[in-house]
Amino acid sequence: MSETKLSVQGVTFEDLGVSPKLLKVLAGLKFNTPTPIQLKAIPIATMGKDVIGIAQTGTGKTLAFALPMLQQISQLKKQGLILVPTRELAIQVEEQFLAVGRSLGLRHTLLIGGGSMARQVDQIRRNPHVIIATPGRMIDHLQTKRLSLSRVGVLVLDEADRMLDMGFAPQIKQILERIPKERQTMLFSATMPPEIVKIAAQHMKLPVRIEIARSGTVAAQVDQELFVVRKDDKIRLLEKLLNEYKGTVLVFSRTKHGARKLCRALDYMKYSVAEIHSNLSLGQRRKSMEGFKSGRYRVLVATDIAARGIDVSNIELVVNYDLPDSPDDYVHRVGRTGRAGKVGRAISFIMPDQQGKVRMIERLVRQQLRVSPLPELPAHRTLPHEPWRANLQSGRFSRGAMAKPERWARPRQSGGAARQGSKWSNNRPARHSGHGYKPQGQGQAVKSVDASYVKPSKPQAKRQNNLARIHT
C-alpha cells in the first residue's frame, strides 16, 4: 500500500502518539515510517482538533485520518462517519480500515449505491463503529429512519471538493444537520478551492490547516507530457503508446459512451482491457478494478469516477484520452501514477482548439506542460464501431459512404407471381390486391389477375349492386 513510502527519516508512528494496539497492527502491516501528511496530521487529529489537510494524491491521506479516528472512537465510545464522493473511493477506504481494524474487532458498514440494501440494513442494526458512505445512499437510509447519526463523534469529509462538484451539497447539508455539533471534523483533499474552505469553516471549530503541498500540486516524480492530435488520430496515438510502454496503463475518457467505445476498440486490438464508469453495476465495477489491480487487465479505461478511487501503486502510464472538464480533475487523474514515491508518466491528448483548457491546467499546477512532437503513427485500423469504414473499403457501398450495401438492393425472393406493367417491377414481390389475392405460401393459392381490370369506385359499385337487385 502507498502509506509505506514517502517517509520522513528518523520518525516513527510511535512518535506521533499512536496507541500501542494500533502500533502493533501497523508493525504487522510493515507500516514503519509515516508520510509527510501523516507526520503532521496524526498528532493534531489524535488530540481531537479539527483538521483541513491538503496533499497530493498517493501520499497516505487515508491512513492520516483512519488512525486518529480509530483511536478517538475507542476512547470516546462514539461512531465514526466517513463521507466520500464515489463508490470506488468508498471501497478503497473500506480496504484500509479493514487492514488496520480487523484484528481490533472493528465493525463497519459500507453504504453505497448498487450494494444490497438488506445487507446494509443488517450491518446498521449491529451498531457499527465506523460508517463509510456516499451522500446519496446515506440520505436514503436517513429518510427511511433506518439510520441514526446521534452517536457520531468523528466526521471525515474525504475529497469534499469532488462531492460538491457532483452536486452533493444539499445532501451534505442534510447530513451535517443530523450530526451532533460536539464532534471532531476532518477534511482531506488534494485540491481545496476557496468556496470549499468557506463551506467547511461553517461546520468546523478553529480547524488546523495542514498543507504539505499547495492546492493543485502534482507529485514531482510524475513526468507530464502533451500531444497535439486530431480527434480521428487519437486511437492510433494510443496504440503507439501501448506498444511503447509495457506496464499497466490507465486511460481516462470524458464520457461513459466514449469509455465503452474505446474499450471495445482496444479489445479488438487484442489488448487485455476493462472499463469502469457509472453505467456499470457495482459488481461489474469491482470486477474491473480487481482485475486491473491483480494484473489480469493491463489497460483500464475509466471516466472521472475513477480519478479519485484507484489506489494502485504500479501504474506506469496515465493517458488523458480526453481532457477533463475541470482542471482539478486533471490533478487527480495524474495522481494515479507516480504513487508511493515511484516514478510515473502522464500523457494528455489535446486537440488544436483546446489551448484554453491547457492554460487553465497550467495555472493550477503552476508549471508549463511540455508539448512533444507527434510521432509516426501506425496504420489505420478498422475498428468494430466503424462498420461504415469497413464497408467503404471493401467496395460494398456503390454510391458513396451513405449508400445502401449491394445486398440490400437485391430483389426479395417470393413464391408469388409479380404483376406486370409500369406500376410493378419484376424484382418486387406480389402483394395483396384486395380481390381475394394472396401470395403463395400464405394459406391460399395465387389467382390470375386480368391486367385490363379496373376496380370500380364505391359509388359505381353501389349503383351496379342496385341495378342487379332490380333486374333479379
pLDDT at residue 406, as a whole number: 43
Cβ atoms 335, 56 nearer than 8 A: yes
222-380 CATH: 3.40.50.300
Q: What is the reported pTM?
A: 0.65
Flag residues of the chain having pLDDT under 70. 1-10, 56-58, 190-191, 195, 213-217, 306-311, 340-341, 382-472
As given in the structure block, the three cell numbers for residue 381 are 485500423
Query: What is the DSSP-derived secondary structure letter of residue 268?
Result: H
CATH 3.40.50.300 region(s) of the chain?
2-211, 222-380
pLDDT at residue 301, as a whole number: 94
Computed from CA positions of residues 103, 104, 109, 112, in that sequence, does the dihedral angle turn out positive or negative?
A: negative
CA angle 284, 140, 183 (to 5 degrees): 110
pLDDT at residue 215, as a whole number: 63
d(CA 95, CA 151): 23
d(CA 321, CA 250): 10
pLDDT at residue 394, as a whole number: 45
Amino acid at residue number 9:
Q
Q: Find cell 493550477 and name the residue.
A: 364
pLDDT at residue 9, as a whole number: 53
CA angle 240, 246, 249 (to 5 degrees): 80
- Residue 210's closest CA among 39, 448, 77, 447? 39
Q: Give the pairing type, strands 222-228 and 344-350.
A: parallel
CA atoms within 13 A on the CB side of 461: 5
Residues 6+ apart with CB under 8 A from 72: 45, 46, 48, 78, 80, 153, 154, 184
pLDDT at residue 141, as a whole number: 94
As given in the structure block, the three cell numbers for residue 62 are 487515508
CATH class of the structural domain 2-211: alpha beta
